[in-house]
Amino acid sequence: MPTHETLSERRLLEFMGGLDIIDCHEHLPPEAVRTSQPQDVFTLFSHYCRHDLFAAGMDRDTYCGLNVWGVSRPTYESLFDPALPLEQRWAVFQPWWEAIRHGSYARAAILTAKLVYCVDRIDDTTYHELSERIAAENTPGIYARMLGERCRILVALTQCGRMDVGSPLVPIMPAGMLADVGHRDAVERLAAGVGAATPADLEGYLAVVRQQVAAWTTAGMVGLKFMSRHYASPDPKAAAAAFRQAMDGHALPPEAQHVLQSHLTHALLDLCAEFDLVAAVHAGIWGDFRDIDCTHMLTLAPAHPQTDFDLYHLGMPSVREAIVVAKNLPNVWLNLCWTHIISQVQSRSGIDELLDQVPVTKVLAFGGDYGRPVEKVVGHLAMAREDYARVFGERIDRGLLGLSDAKDILKLWFRDNPLRLYRRLQVLQGK
């Protein structure tokens, strides 16, 4: 924190430093995936920093501002090619670093360099030393050191599309793996994975889907990941026809795809209630964020009143709308994962406003939302603590909140609320 922090902020920062945490959203793969790959200074610029680099103009010919997978971005990709000399890669990167280093994504990298690797800045004079320290740290146990020892994270809920993640990671699986049925091959693979015959019709496929959800749940899954989109109402007849068309090897037109995806999504949301799973929902910032706006929850959540929804990212940029959604709907919770590295100013404003409107029992404080750079969870958490200390501290200083109440709320948000929402984590309740 800056030296001008108030006494209330200092007290809150000290308190939060001693809190055990449930990290409510990561994309971390099994640790062996991380440690098996070479790491250097550019590890700190993987994941979200890339979007600021693209916004600044890197690989402009192939990046159009939307999240299009499978498109080559040669300049960015070259930064992670260990066959190229580090000096050559830094020379390419350095002008772009000057364009993005004042942003929140970059600040998480700068804080991580300082807090984890004891390097006070990232520039021409430090990138070699920083690379050496990152490489030296990239050994088995890095997850325990970064998440457990440095952050006091008991559990990190991760979404990497696989179940074999290992402690302290706990998986949330993508609902799209079950709801996005585009061709027969995918159906055959899913059925074979649960030891079932290839289903002949939609009813049979729904039985296979249920088997898969049951198997994942038994293996430790605590939720399914959805997107906050417009879904059509369930239509068994039209969905069955679309499924038959896909199984016959025909490409589904967009309307049929939407009908089938919508029908399966509604079925999966009902299964979440049946298996006591949380429906984790991405909303807001990403590509064309108009299509995944948090206000779609106003129709989706009431259609599944027995399902609990974890609404991600405070709906950014539609923060006020997300707050009102959670204020009005009893089965929607607000998750501030990712938000603090998107914008600390917007995060603090949102925290202040949601305190006015949302029951304190429906807020989850933190999720690092990283994949490759596990150490950046440390920098992100430092930024999150700053935001909570600033907002809560100002309320204390204005006489709107007592210090004791502030501590109680922060404990709820960082640990107790996630455990209440993700009830399958109840094994941790005694800690």
Q: Convert the pLDDT of each residue in 310-366 to its tens digit.
A: 999 999 999 999 999 999 999 999 999 999 999 999 999 999 999 999 999 999 999
Q: Look at residue 171 in the predicted model and tell me its pLDDT.
A: 98
pLDDT at 429: 44
Nearest to 33 by CA among 424, 428, 374, 378: 374
Taken in order 24, 28, 30, 35, is the CA torsion positive or negative?
negative
Q: What's the CA gap between 383 and 295, in Å, rounded?
A: 27
Q: Which residue has the tokens 């899913």?
A: 190
pLDDT band at residue 61 using 50, 70 and 90 as cut-offs? confident
| 3 state DSSP class of 37 | coil
CATH superfamily, domain 144-428, is Metal-dependent hydrolases (3.20.20.140)
> What is the reported pTM?
0.94
Q: In terms of pLDDT, which residue wins out, 299 or 251?
A: 299
pLDDT value, residue 428? 42
Q: Is the pLDDT of residue 138 over 80?
A: yes
- Quote the CA–CA distance of 207 and 221 in Å, as a whole number: 19
> pLDDT tier at 288 (50, 70, 90 boundaries)?
confident
Query: What's at 425, amino acid-wise?
Result: L
The fraction of the chain above a pLDDT of 70, given in percent, is 97
Q: Which of 181-185, 240-244, 414-418 has the lowest mean pLDDT?
A: 181-185
Instruction: Assess whether pLDDT exceeds 50 at residue 430.
Output: no
Whether omega before 168 lies within 30 degrees of 0, making that bond cis, reads yes
Per-chain mean pLDDT for the chain: 95
Of the candidates 90, 96, 58, the residue with the CA atom closest to the CA atom of residue 74: 58
DSSP 277-333: -EEEEE-SSSSSGGGG-GGGHHHHTTT-TTS-EEEGGGGTT-HHHHHHHHHH-TTEE
% of the chain exceeding 90 in pLDDT = 91
Give 10-40 pLDDT, tens digit per residue: 999 999 999 999 999 999 999 999 999 999 9
Sheet with 21-26, strands from edge to edge, namely 21-26, 153-158, 169-174, 223-227, 278-282, 309-311, 332-335, 363-364
Contact 89, 103 (CB under 8 A): no
pLDDT tens per residue, range 302-317: 999 999 999 999 999 9
Tell me which of 65 and 207 has the higher pLDDT. Answer: 207
Do 101 and 110 touch, CB atoms closer than 8 A? yes
Which positions ≥6 away from 284 have C-beta within 8 Å?
228, 292, 293, 294, 312, 313, 314, 315, 316, 317, 318, 322
List pLDDT tens digits, range 140-188: 999 999 999 999 999 999 999 999 999 999 999 999 999 998 889 989 9
C-alpha dihedral sign at 22, 28, 31, 37:
negative
Are 296 and 232 in contact, with CB atoms under 8 Å apart? no
Count of other CB atoms within 10 angstroms of residue 195? 9
Is pLDDT above 60 for 2?
no
Q: Write down the H helix ranges in 219-253.
A: 236-247
Helix%, strand%, coil% for the chain, nearest 5: 55, 10, 35
The pLDDT of residue 249 is: 86
> Where are the chain's structural domains?
39-137, 144-428
pLDDT at residue 67 in the model: 58
Burial of residue 74 (CB within 10 Å: 0-12, 13-18, 19+) is exposed
Token pair of 296 as six digits: 């779609």
The residues with which 335 forms a beta bridge, in sequence order, are: 364
Max alpha carbon distance in the chain (Å)?
Answer: 68
The answer to which of 82-91, 261-270, 287-296, 359-368 has the lowest mean pLDDT is: 287-296
Quote the CA–CA distance of 71 and 309 in Å, as a whole number. 32
pLDDT at 287: 81
Instruction: Give Cα 405 to chain centroid, integer Å.
Output: 28
Decide if pLDDT at 64 tops 80.
no
**Looking at residue 70, what is its pLDDT?**
66
pLDDT 10s digits, 100-130: 999 999 999 999 999 999 999 999 999 999 9
Lowest mean pLDDT among 131-145, 270-284, 323-337, 415-429: 415-429
Q: Are 297 and 311 in contact (CB under 8 A)?
A: yes
